[in-house]
Amino acid sequence: VPVFLFVAAPYIRRYVAGGRCKSTARLEGKVVIITGANTGIGKETARDLAQRGKVIIACRDTAKGEAAASEIQAETGNQQVIVKKLDLADTKSIREFAEKFLAEEKELHILINNAGVMLCPYSKTADGFEMHLGVNHLGHFLLTFLLLERLKQCAPARIVNVSSLAHHGGRIRFHDLQGEKSYNRGLAYCHSKLANVLFTRELARRLQGKFQRRAEFTANALHPGSVYSELVRHSFVLTWLWKIFSFFLKTPREGAQTSIYCAVAEELDSVTGQYFSDCQPAYISPRGRNDETAKKLWSVSCELLGIQWE
């Protein structure tokens, strides 16, 4: 068995690594925002895109963000890797981030909603939203709303939402959206990832109606794969299992490939409302294809955030 594993190891790793973004597209003169790019796949996405254009690292922990930015600047030679404070668990912080960004930056071409929380014990955001729903869905929903006009002005533009295969286990429980009646942290994560898929679907539908040419504006979602990262830090068991089976998990750089692909691949210029994994289209659960649920989630999200987004 050890000999077999030694011989098979390179093939296993190649299979685990999955798809790779082969696009050499440049982003000169373009600006990218990546949420949660101070660590994990967000950081690796920023590392790649910094070789192509200007990158804004939007994160809660600015000390980690500055360390990541310095590392990427040194590696790529691109000094246009900038850190801005953004706490997706606080709508005040989201609004402040957007206000400062719009005042300081005149361009925005790609928004990658990457940040997320996973398997949190029951807790609420500053605005009283259940943490998974509040950060993974509502935080990015509000951020996208606040930046949408700037993206429109700079079209062609792309919005990339990092979801997960876990969306297959989710459902939108409108009767208990905040998990106050019953709560399971694993399911709460799944629900929020389904919300990402439905948000992408409805956003793409609405944008398509606003632009005659689909290539002007696209919104797509993706599954990065099972990645060895800090995302499982709230679960002792998963942290332990992740360490034991790390050989069978993607590295953050491998996990970032589909995010990069959705952000820059030329063949996706006119593709919108889709879901990708390993740099290719992937199957969406029936619940993730329910247009009525997507429309209702949009409406409820606007109500919760106190915004009007027609």
Q: Annotated active-site positions, please?
A: 189
129: helix, coil or strand? coil
121: helix, coil or strand? coil
Q: Which residues are CB-contacts of 307 (< 8 A; sequence separation ≥ 6)? A: 142, 145
Write the DSSP symbol of residue 137.
I
Helix (H) / strand (E) element for 159: namely: strand 157-162
How far, in Å, are 31, 33, 51, 84, 263 from residue 28 at the CA level?
8, 15, 10, 21, 14
Other Cβ atoms less than 10 A from the Cβ of 260: the count is 25
Q: Are 114 and 34 in contact (CB under 8 A)?
A: yes
**What span, in angstroms and rounded, lies between the C-alpha atoms of 247 and 268?**
31
Helix (H) / strand (E) element for 52: namely: none
217: helix, coil or strand? strand
